[in-house]
Amino acid sequence: SQQGEEDPQALSIQEGENATMNCSYKTSINNLQWYRQNSGRGLVHLILIRSNEREKHSGRLRVTLDTSKKSSSLLITASRAADTASYFCATVSNNDYKLSFGAGTTVTVRA
């Protein structure tokens, strides 16, 4: 079942700007993961944050997790044209340990 919901659905920014997208979910989680998908291609794992972590960094990516609000955010700093893609959050619940994906945020970075 779909658990994560990303917001906004689409985002258009200028190269060099930061991009922020949010994910909300419904049930308690074991961890939350972010994936990137370039047009029509397979998903690529970006970062995993566990339920007992609040913030995680990987290069230009910063992920936060607020379990009290059941939400997460992904920040891409100093965006590049190559960051143009769809970004998905995926939650792993404590009930079934399966990945449940949201519908994604489409990010367009303008040169």
Cis peptide bond N-terminal to 8, omega within 30 = yes
Identified binder of other proteins from the candidate list 19, 21, 92, 109, rule CB under 8 A: 92
With b for 16 or more beta-carbon neighbours within 10 A and e for fewer, the 20-49 pattern comes to: bbbbbbeeebebbbbbbeeeeeebeebbeb
Least separation in angstroms between CB 14 and other proteins: 27
Answer yes or no whether residue 61 interacts with other proteins by CB under 8 A. no
Identified binder of other proteins from the candidate list 42, 59, 69, 111, rule CB under 8 A: 42
Residue with tokens 């303008």: 110
3-state secondary structure of 51: coil
In the complex with other proteins, the residue whose CB is nearer, 1 or 14, is 1
Site size toward other proteins (CB under 8 A) is 26
In the complex with other proteins, the residue whose CB is nearer, 53 or 101, is 101
